[in-house]
A and B are shown apart, each in its own frame.
Chain A
């Protein structure tokens, strides 16, 4: 019964929520912007050639250790390749996968979810059954199987992510579309003779968009992890392209002699995945017309 609560109390609560959301949005957005810039400007800003090997300067420690060589800020790996430069170039692969796979997954999954949730009937039965069958497969196994069939490569990773994760969107958006479809505003639009397709796109879609955006951001984070996992098990793209997962796999072997080879790409991965999920949540609340 919001009407009986004095307006000032409600406003105060909202302001506090908004402040907290603001900080979260800024921090996560800031990190993502940094990664995006690094990825875009990699050829110009990376201090070294990420592929250049130099066995004489292998396993150099990071810059704050006294006896290290200057120019290798985060140290080098066992082959003498610069860790910072490899992280910067690795951001490219991570973000390409995040954006392409995330967007495709969101588009396909949300479209099917919307259709199932709003049109119901046989379309819903078909799509829901498909989702159920799909979810019965263990996802990581499914991904590895797919890549084994498609052959390793950026394209295969993206396809694998879309094929596995569309159900996440389909399920959630179907439920939301069903809720929205039961509202009186949809009935009014129907009475006014608005075609059903347009009701779905013009009336329902705007109301599920905040959820799609939040899920999309989360999905981007998941895509980054999946790419890293597949690189880790050597199923990702060719080994001469630096990727965070590949670096973690290599760093793991020499963690006792050179921890920095493992830890820095891990931090980059962790912060990026965390930022994607936090950014999504923040955006969702920002989009929400009632909290706005």
Chain B
């Protein structure tokens, strides 16, 4: 089965220095599949999502690669068409529910905008659908919430709204960028369960960015491990937890606390492993330079 989202040899680099933040990354998410994307902070997980959605910061640029969404390479489309294509087929669940909703606009407008803009619906129809969606993500009294401002709602509530608005226009692909990191633990679980349930019900292709392997084991079918912009492992969740192929992944897995024995495994990734994977990154970098 060929994937709905296929990233091939994607390199993203800083504009001024030319230093690569993503190093020839390839990744594929099959239609309806949930793929985890893990790696330590700064590895470039968000950068992959931003490249796909066309919201890279100004200071960086794509220097090579292809990003196929269905049967088109987004990087070959003219900007206006690319925006339209992405808007109609993809959506984002952002990390921080505090800044992801416009503080000076009521919730209702922010959710219905998607339907009006992308699907060309009338306001009234969009509003009715927004009410349904809010109910679907278990928001009590959706009519009141539609009239509220973001600061009147709790973090968990806001994240539910963001999930609802991500699914609103029935996108084929959703990129969730650490959607639970900003929430407290009890709410995290509810939100995870909600995303999983919504994904299953809507059959959405989901790229799930996280640094929590525990979350991956519960939500994802496959996963990619990123280190310093280099993809070091690309496997199924079952295989990964049985026997990770790359030493860095193995160390990452060993460093994840287990509920049965919370203290035993709480050790950092060993220096030897880090040195090895660094060397690998350097080798990839030299090879890439030489090839140009």
> Which residues on A are within 8 Å of B, measured CB to CB?
3, 120-121, 183-185, 187-194, 203, 206-207, 209, 289-290, 292
Contacts and interface: CB of A to CB of B under 8 A. Distances in A.
B114 A192 contact: yes
Given A187-B92, A187-B94, 12 more contacts: A121-B58, A184-B96, A184-B100, A185-B110, A190-B54, A191-B54, A194-B113, A206-B104, A209-B104, A289-B149, A290-B103, A292-B149
What bracket does the count of chain B residues touching chain A fall in?
35 or more
B29 interface: no
Interface in B47-90: 50, 53-55, 58, 83-84, 86-88, 90
A118 B155 CA distance: 27
Contacts of A192: 87, 91, 113-114, 117-118, 169
Contacts of A191: 53-55, 86-87, 90-92
9 smallest CB-CB distances across A and B, nearest first, come from A193-B87, A184-B100, A206-B104, A184-B94, A183-B99, A185-B102, A184-B99, A193-B83, A191-B53
Contacts of B84: 193
A17 to B, nearest CB: 15
Contact of A3 (B100, B155, B169): B155
Contacts of A183: 99-100
B123 interface: no
Interface in B248-273: none
B278 interface: no
B94 to A, nearest CB: 4
Nearest to A292: B149
B50 to A, nearest CB: 8
Nearest to A207: B104
Given A184-B94, A193-B117, A289 B100 contact: no
14 contacts: A121-B58, A184-B100, A185-B101, A185-B102, A185-B110, A187-B53, A187-B94, A188-B94, A188-B100, A189-B113, A191-B53, A193-B88, A193-B118, A290-B151
A165 B173 CA distance: 48
A184 B55 CA distance: 10
A3 B94 CA distance: 20
Contact of A206 (B50, B54, B105, B151): B105
B95 interface: yes
Interface of B: 50, 53-55, 58, 83-84, 86-88, 90-92, 94-96, 99-105, 110, 113-114, 117-118, 149, 151, 155, 162, 165, 169, 184
A64 B159 CA distance: 67
Contacts of B162: 188
Given A120-B58, A191-B90, A194-B117, A184 B95 contact: yes
Given A188-B94, A190-B55, A193-B117, A206 B86 contact: no
Contacts of A194: 113, 117
Contacts of B58: 120-121
A191 B55 CA distance: 7
Contacts of A289: 103-104, 149, 151
B202 to A, nearest CB: 17
B113 A206 contact: no
B73 to A, nearest CB: 18
B86 A193 contact: yes
Contacts of A292: 149
A187 B103 contact: no
A128 B88 CA distance: 36
A121 B57 CA distance: 12
The interface centre, meaning the residue of A121, A183, A185, A292 with most chain B CB atoms within 10 A of its CB, is A185
A292 B106 CA distance: 14
Contacts of B96: 184
A193 B104 CA distance: 20
Nearest to B102: A185
Contacts of B86: 191, 193
Nearest to B150: A289
Contacts of A209: 104
A185 B99 contact: yes
B102 A206 contact: yes
Contacts of B117: 192-194
A209 B86 CA distance: 30
The interface centre, meaning the residue of B88, B92, B169, B184 with most chain A CB atoms within 10 A of its CB, is B92
A250 B55 CA distance: 62
A290 B58 CA distance: 30
A206 B101 CA distance: 13
The interface centre, meaning the residue of A120, A189, A207 with most chain B CB atoms within 10 A of its CB, is A189
Contacts of A121: 58
